[in-house]
Amino acid sequence: MASDRAAIIGEILGELDITVWRTTRYANGTGTCMWCSTGALVMVPDSDDLEWFAQAEGGEELQARITPLVDARLAEAKTQPYGSLATDIETTDASSPTIRALVGLGEELRREGYAEALDEARTMFTSIMRAKFGPLPPILEHRIKAAEFDQLHRWSERLFTAPRAMLVVV
C-alpha cells in the first residue's frame, strides 16, 4: 500500500498543477521523498502505520490542502479489487515514473523467472538423458547447459526413440 500512497499523492499533486520534479527514496530505504515545484517536500513512509507529511517551504499549507483528497483516494483504493492494476496501467501515462518502475520491476521478475525455468528444464532434461543412456559425454552436457527452450523441446521429441544419446542432441 505504501507505493500506492506515494502514487496517489503524486497523482493528486499533478491534478493540482504541482509538479513533482524529483522522487527519491529515503536514505535508509524506508520511504519515498517527493520534491515539489512549490518548494515543499512530501515524505511518504513505506509503513502504513506511519503518516505521510510535507515539510520545507509551504509544507504545512500543502499538507492541509491535499490531506482530504489523499484520505478519500486511499479509502477508495482499499475498496478496489486487486485485479484492476492492469487496467490502471493501461489508462495511466506510460511516462509516469511509477509506471516505468512497475514495468521495469515486472520485466526484471519475468527475466528471472524465465532464467530459473530454463535452468530447471535443462536439469530435468539432463536427468532424463542420464536415466536412459547413463553417464553423458561432456560435450552433450555442455550442449544441454547452453540449450534454449525450443532446442530442449525438439530434443525431447527424439529422446525416447533414439538408440544413443548423441542422436538426441544433434
- Over residues 46-90, the pLDDT tens digits come to 887 788 888 888 888 888 888 888 888 887 777 665 544 444 555
- Which amino acid, residue 123? T
What pLDDT sits at residue 50?
Answer: 84
Q: What local confidence, expressed as pLDDT, does residue 74 receive? A: 80
- Whole-number pLDDT of residue 81: 56
As a whole number of angstroms, the distance between CA 135 and CA 104 comes to 42
Distance between CA atoms of residues 9 and 77, nearest Å = 12
pLDDT of residue 26: 83
Q: How far apart are CA 128 and CA 79, in angstroms?
A: 49
Predicted pLDDT at 170:
78
| Set of cell numbers at residue 129 | 538423458
pTM of the model: 0.45
Per DSSP, 27 falls in state T
Q: Which residues of the chain have pLDDT under 70?
A: 1-3, 79-96
- What is the number of other CB atoms lying within 10 angstroms of the CB of residue 40? 22
